[in-house]
Amino acid sequence: FPVLQDNLEVYLGLQQFVVTSGTGHRLNITAENDCRRLHCSLRDLSSLLQAVGRLAEYFTGDVFAARFNDALTVVERLVKVTLYGSQIKLYNIETAVPSVLKPDLIDVHAQSLAALQAYAHWLAQFYSEVHRQNPEQFISLVSTALEAIAPLISSKVQEKLLLSACHLLVSLATTVRPVFLISIPAVQKVFNRITDTSAQRLPDKAQVLVCRALSNVLLLPWPNLPESEQQWAVRSTNHASLISALTREYRQLKSNAILPQRKVQLEDTKVIIHQTLSVLEDIVESISGESTKSRQICYQSLQESVQVSLALFPAFIHQSDVTDEMLSFFLTLFQGLRVQMGVPFTEQIIQTFLNMFTREQLAESILHEGSTGCRVVEKFLKILQVVVQEPGQVFKPFLPSVISLCMEQVYPIIAERSSPDVKAELFELLFRVLHHNWRYFFKSSVLASVQRGVAEEQMENEAQFSAIMQAFGQSFLQPDIHLFKQNLFYLETLNTKQKLYHKKIFRTTMLFQFVNVLLQVLVHKSHDLLQEEIGIATYNMASVDFDGFYSAFLPEFLASCDGVDSNQKNVLGRNFKMDRDLPSFTQNVHRLVNDLRYYRLCNDSLPPGTVKL
């Protein structure tokens, strides 16, 4: 702290060297030696401020009371320094060595804001201790910090400094959440600045952060106060007008979205869509884990913009950069505000998407667009993943169309392509369809489960189930090792949770096809990193019907192996012991694979005709 103090005194003492010049303010320190010393002092100050920020966690929690006075001293200093920097506007000052000193001054100011932000949790704890008795000291700290922030929320301020101020504002609004935040003039100033359409817009990142902070001020429940004192009605009205101001231009797009647009117009429209959706998506994401009340108010404010987005979607289906942002927004909505959106509207959204993503549209997105087009389809599949995992009967009617979209439209386009795009999401969706909707395929009657093993479960939608399994099998023949690992894990999970390998349809028609593919993969050495997983999966499948495995499958498998003669096949068969425990079985599998490869190598290296194959 003493070292910090020394450097701070240099910084706080700069005020006496600021002189007014014709073009603004100038720092009247010109001697080369002085400039160099000032540069070193400012660099040290930046590092010390960072260090002070890093120490914040040692003042909270159990030691809060014991170290309170030290922390208070530090925070008071930080608040003073940030306000000083904003008041004398050192970031806009002319200096003798602008290329060096100007970045130094900006960096110190940004670091002081960041260091103060690190004490947000300490401030929150301070607030919970004093909110009932004398909160004057706390109110003064927060109000002064906000006075330091407000002037920096401007498009004229350098981005590094602007973003530091924005992050501090977000922390005060989200972590500290004082009840009086909204009534502080500095905060009202920021509200007016952001909702004023004539003011120049902040850079994207800053705009998103400030809007998140303002939305959180109104949406997040105040700590230390009962539900009855949360003033939800007033806050709800204010939030609605904030969102209304932020989305004004966006909501006007609805009326002319249907008309064909000229190129210039289209670019302007895209900018509005990008700017609005990035803000709205961030607002939804930041409250997705909050109380029901916060999410309700958020959705009420957003409702019209959500409907506008849905109306705009078909008009931009061929602009993959726009559909990418729209689907991002809808995905965030589905993840955070599903319940608030309600069933009828959610159905309408899904139906619109299902209608828009025709086979032609999917092919255009995946094949011609490259990365953005693939991202669009991936996000659409992600939205469907959220939908098919929803418990209850609400979205069950969509299952047939979701499965047919996957199997008849998306899968044929990507099946033969080696690129991993879209595949991982598609298989995750298929896994979720099976995992969360098992009864769509296997109706288990109570009676059947009582007479364990006597009655077979009834199978429904058999063709769709077989097609999905076929797609999984196909994926094991492709070189992509990540997809192989993911899909093997999905099958194993379905077996653990739902006894997939024991189901009659799997046991009788697919079991040994899968075992065959897995053994071939081991023989070809194409996925060597997954040897262990493949061995275990092979055991789990074979153990469903060991008799069939030893008496029928293994002899057939050996008979179909090329590159080895009949004598060698007999030896391979004899060496595979009929063990039924996992370690011995996998050992046998790996021995079989290694011996088979060894025989092939030997036979290949002999003169042609030596071995009768």
String of DSSP letters for 300-311: HHHHHHHHHHHH
Extract the tokens encoding 59. Answer: 């003042």
As a whole number of angstroms, the distance between CA 94 and CA 275 comes to 34
Q: Given a cut of 50, is residue 520 above it in pLDDT? A: yes
pLDDT surpasses 50 at 60:
yes
Q: Residue 528: pLDDT above 80?
A: yes
SS3 at position 574: helix
Cα 344 from Cα 346, distance rounded (Å): 6
Higher pLDDT, 469 or 525: 469
pTM of the model as a whole: 0.88
Q: Which of 71-85, 253-267, 509-523 has the least mean pLDDT? A: 253-267
Alpha-carbon span 427 to 268, nearest angstrom: 37
Structure tokens at 454: 């006597």
Q: What is the largest CA-CA distance in the chain?
A: 101
- Note the helical H segments in 526-581: 531-542, 546-548, 554-559, 566-575
| Both structure tokens of 282 | 């961030």
What pLDDT was estimated at residue 372?
Answer: 84
Write down the mean pLDDT value for the chain.
91
Q: Which residues contact 289 (CB under 8 A, 6 or more apart)?
A: none
Instruction: Give the CA count within 13 Å in the CB-facing half-sphere of 59.
Output: 23
Predicted confidence at residue 454, as pLDDT, reads 45
- Report pLDDT for 261: 65
Indicate the Cα dihedral angle 463, 383, 346, 245, nearest 10°: -160
- Among 231, 229, 225, 210, CA closest to 127: 225
Separation of CA 327 from chain center? 13
**What is the SS3 assignment for 134?**
coil
Pairing of strands 442-443, 18-21: unpaired
d(CA 501, CA 488): 13
Helix residue ranges per DSSP H, 119-231: 120-130, 136-149, 159-171, 185-195, 204-219
Given the DSSP bridges, would you call strands 18-21 and 24-27 parallel, antiparallel or unpaired?
antiparallel
- Non-local CB neighbours of 34 within 8 Å, separated by 6+ positions: none
The pLDDT-based confidence of 456 (bands split at 50, 70, 90) is: low
pLDDT score for 448: 56
Q: What is the pLDDT of residue 449?
A: 57
Q: Coil, helix or strand for 443?
A: strand
pLDDT in tens, 143-177: 999 999 999 999 999 999 999 999 999 999 999 99
Note the pLDDT tens digit of each residue in 382-415: 999 999 998 888 888 889 999 999 999 999 988 8
Lowest mean pLDDT among 100-104, 164-168, 468-472: 100-104
Q: What is the C-alpha to C-alpha distance for residues 139 and 179, in angstroms, rounded to an integer?
A: 10
Q: What percent of the chain clears pLDDT 90, i.e. is strictly above it? A: 74
Average pLDDT for residues 189-216, to the nearest whole number? 94
pLDDT in tens, 183-195: 999 999 999 999 9
With 80 as the cut, is the pLDDT of residue 609 above it?
A: no
- What does the pLDDT look like over 557-604, one tens digit per residue? 999 998 899 999 999 999 999 999 999 999 999 999 999 999 999 988
User: Cβ–Cβ contacts within 10 Å for residue 192, how many?
Assistant: 11
Q: Is the pLDDT of residue 432 over 60?
A: yes
Q: Tens of pLDDT along 211-226? A: 999 999 999 999 989 9
* pLDDT tens digits for range 438-453: 999 998 755 555 555 5
CB of 559 closer than 8 Å to CB of 569: yes
Residue closest to 142 by CA, chosen among 89, 185, 111, 110: 185
Give the per-residue pLDDT at 12: 94
Using 50, 70 and 90 to split pLDDT, how confident is the model at 99?
confident
Q: Which amino acid is at 602?
A: C
Is pLDDT larger for residue 202 or for residue 528? 202
Distance CA 316, CA 299 (A): 24
Question: Which pLDDT belongs to residue 391?
Answer: 85
Which pLDDT does position 423 carry in this prediction? 93
**What value, to the nearest 5°, has the Cα angle with vertex 13 and ends 10 and 14?**
95
CB-neighbour burial class of residue 581 (10 A; exposed 0-12, middle 13-18, buried 19+)? exposed
Measured between alpha carbons, how far is 299 from 305 in angstroms, rounded to an integer?
10
pLDDT confidence of 363, banded at 50, 70, 90?
A: confident
Q: Is the pLDDT of residue 123 over 90?
A: yes
Mean pLDDT of 292-313: 95
Amino acid at 334: F
Which residues neighbour 1 within 8 Å (Cβ) at sequence distance 6 or greater? 73, 74
b/e code 283-314 from CB counts within 10 Å (16+ = b) = bbebbbeeeeebbbbbbebbebbbebbbebbe
How many whole angstroms separate alpha carbon 412 and alpha carbon 602? Answer: 41
Hey, is 434 helix, strand or coil?
helix
Enter the tokens of residue 381.
């599949």
Q: What would the two tokens of residue 261 be? A: 């647009």
pLDDT, tens only, 241-293: 999 999 999 999 988 766 666 777 888 899 999 999 999 999 999 999 898 99
Average pLDDT (45-55) is 97
Q: What average pLDDT does this structure show over 317-345?
A: 92
